[in-house]
Amino acid sequence: MLCFRRGGEGNATIETVCHNPALAFHGQFLKDFNSKTCEMKRVKGTEDEFICSCNEEECNGRLIFSDGADPVSPRSDEPKLLSLLLVSLVPSGVVLVLLVSLLYFYCACRQHKLKAPATKSETCAIIIMSDDDRSDNSLNHNLELLPIQLDSSVGKGRFAEVFKARLKQASQSFQTVAVKIFPYEEYASWKTEWEIYSDAELRHENVLHFLTAEDRKASQQYWLITAYQERGNLQEFLSQHVIGWDELCRLAGSLARGVAHLHADRTPCGRAKVAIVHRDLKSANVLVKSDLTCCLCDFGLSLRLDTYTSPEELGNSGQVGTARYMAPEVLESRMDLESIESFKQADVYSMALVLWEIVSRCSATGDVREYEPPFGKLKEHPCVESMKDDVIRDRLRPEIPVSWSNHTGVHLLSSTIEECWDHDPEARLTAQCVVERLSDIISSDIIKSTGDSGSDDK
């Protein structure tokens, strides 16, 4: 049973009830209770009150007035509510859509601007500025080879030779670059280093600035083109210079920061990054920049520690590195392949030896000896077996002279070095911990008052 009442100002009241048709409703009996439609009949003695009855499903969804009144939906107030909601929400929705669209287009335009390829001259100019860490470390995908003229060889390793070279720009001027040339048979080493450098998150002031990689088919060579560091590698620099406390702080601090950045799974800005281990850290693979800070280079043996890298893949990487700088567990081939941290711990051991080299040439101790590499009393190029005898059997480490305790900063740094080359990998400090230790040492007021500065030629 449904009762309909019209009110003033176009309003209506609708009452729906279940009613026994044998009884009177509002003073009258309805005989159309079996109807399939809701035909409204005027209630006796009223002007705007109607009643209908029907028994079909949803039969009262449409009201039919037999006296010519307009059909009315019993849910007529629902469209009004919907209209009210639309009027209220649509303007807010439009504003929200506009704001989101503007934000999207802003981000898209900014990303496009960051990734937009520069002209050749712009690309070269950006990447060659070795002290400018703002440019992108991604590969240069220009199909045309860069116009480079090789000058002189500045170093040769197991897999490649490094040349000082000149890059001819559109202005006909030359910029100095370094070109690392691999023969075709050393493709794997070139590819490994190329892939490491191509990670944009590797970019760091203490990692060698990368320009591009090229396949020089005509000469059957693979090239890696990087910034050129005129001071050469750290081993050469230390053999020719005595350094002061300030120089020691710059060299040691930047070395630790470079290694910590490699090992980190986050960039300084907080972005996700794949941790990398160098696996051949030594003073010959560290370059000295013009401001006397270090940058790491030579990633031919490096390994990306992806979370999905299996122990089998890590195990297949082999015993790599330079015997003089190998950690005991590397010499003994007993790396814990279940933990990627074990590879970082081996790097920290090697870094400790490089830090020892730096301190050994510091005048702040009052006792500067001739430069020699770690375990320098051994033959020039010791093999793995001879290093096993000294490092594993005899537990030998480079000498820490008594004179190092004459300077508070050097004394504290030497303690850090000893913790980093501990025989137990688990007992070693992390590279980030070394960065923090060095920062505390350098910022100490006592050390500042006694620090010796200035460097001298050998």
- Tens of pLDDT along the chain (458 residues) come to 555 555 555 556 677 777 677 677 766 777 777 777 777 777 777 777 777 888 777 777 777 776 555 555 554 455 555 566 666 666 777 777 787 777 776 666 555 444 333 333 333 223 333 333 333 443 444 567 888 999 999 988 888 999 999 988 756 566 899 999 999 999 988 998 999 998 888 999 999 999 999 999 999 999 999 999 999 999 999 999 999 999 999 999 999 999 999 999 988 888 889 999 999 999 999 999 999 999 999 998 899 888 777 666 666 666 688 999 999 999 998 888 778 899 999 999 999 999 999 999 999 988 898 999 999 876 677 889 989 999 999 999 999 999 999 999 999 999 999 999 999 999 999 999 999 999 999 887 566 655 554 555 55
CA gap 371, 357 in Å, rounded: 8
280 catalytically annotated = yes
What is residue 311's three-state secondary structure? Answer: helix
Count of other CB atoms within 10 angstroms of residue 373: 23
pLDDT at 417: 98
Q: Alpha carbon of 402 to those of 184, 254, 370, 390: distances in Å? A: 50, 26, 16, 22
pLDDT at 242: 97
What is residue 62's three-state secondary structure? Answer: coil
Helix (H) or strand (E) holding 121: helix 120-128
pLDDT at 144: 78
CA gap 354, 259 in Å, rounded: 12
Torsion over CA of 426, 432, 436 and 439, rounded to 10 degrees?
A: 130
pLDDT at 407: 93
Catalytic choice (48, 280, 424, 456): 280
Count of other CB atoms within 10 angstroms of residue 20: 9
Which pTM does this prediction carry? 0.68
Residue (of 258, 136, 141, 261) closest to 200 by Cα position: 136
CA gap 412, 245 in Å, rounded: 13
Q: Where are the alpha helices (H) located in 157-297, listed in sequence order?
A: 187-197, 234-240, 245-263
DSSP state of 285: G
CA gap 432, 275 in Å, rounded: 13
Both tokens assigned to 12: 């209506």
Q: Alpha carbon of 433 to those of 256, 420, 429: distances in Å? A: 9, 10, 6
